[in-house]
Structure 1
Amino acid sequence: MPSRKPEEIDELISTWKSSRTADKKHMCKVNAQKGKELEILRAEDDGTTVVNVCGLTVSASLLDSGADESLVSCGVVDNLTGMECFIAFQQCEPVPLHPVGGGILSVSRKIRFDELALATPAGPLMLRGLVCWIDESDRSLSLTISRRVMNWVILRLSS
């Protein structure tokens, strides 16, 4: 281990810092093209985005909903089953979920999506392997992505 005097260490550190040529640019401008199909589906910004699941267009509610679990409606599952898409289910012990509006929602089945494409202004964002609880009482075409998943996506996009 080389021995250095304190003043030599300070000089070496300042020399090293001045020799670094790191790029200071952390953001770059992106020109997003507006998709015609998205204009029709979303006339206004209502806190949702459009998701493509195996060719089925689904509304993903409030990406910043703060939900603890990802939840998909039974309507989405029924439509995908009718389209003969391969989907993997898992039967579980009933789990109580506590929605924002109050009450308790009991869920007992999970589904794993191989791939979801979220529509964003910068183009589609792919999510792979998303696991969602199935809301058997909801026949609409809706999906709620959990806070944990969205935080993971944001971390990946920012790095």
Structure 2
Amino acid sequence: MPLESGAVLAGASGEERAVLAGIGTALGVAYQLADDELGTIGDPALTGKSVLSDLREGKRTELLRVAWRRADARQAALLATHVGRADLDEAGARTVVEVLHATGAVEDVRALAHRAADIARTLATHLPEPLATYLAGVVDDLAGRAR
């Protein structure tokens, strides 16, 4: 919405507004997926956020959704034991992260984020310069956040 709103104020064509709306949507998806990953398995020294908070909260992320869907009985029991517990400790969080990797959830969500960023980047090529290059850089900065 911010990209499209700015386009309206700048007098952009309907086609340009639609492209900007598409970029915003795809970039938002890529950013949120990357942010959820960082909130669960990121390095707190880089993110400034504990990996325990989202897991303690039981935050419903795509990463956990994929893991739950793919988990075998043992993995599902581990997720059920640890996710959403206010007293989750580092050892419990490591167990959850192991399940996230073992189920392929991390790799799948990274691929999904990458595809969404590619869509945003491709859409940006339909805009005039220097806006196209600027927005491609924004996509790279926000969707490719440090892991």
Asked if TM exceeds 0.5, the reply is no
TM-score class, shorter-chain normalisation, is: under 0.3
Q: TM-score, normalised by structure 1?
A: 0.24
Greater percentage in strand: 1
Under a length normalisation based on structure 2, what TM-score does the superposition of the two structures give? Answer: 0.26
Q: Which has the larger radius of gyration?
A: 1
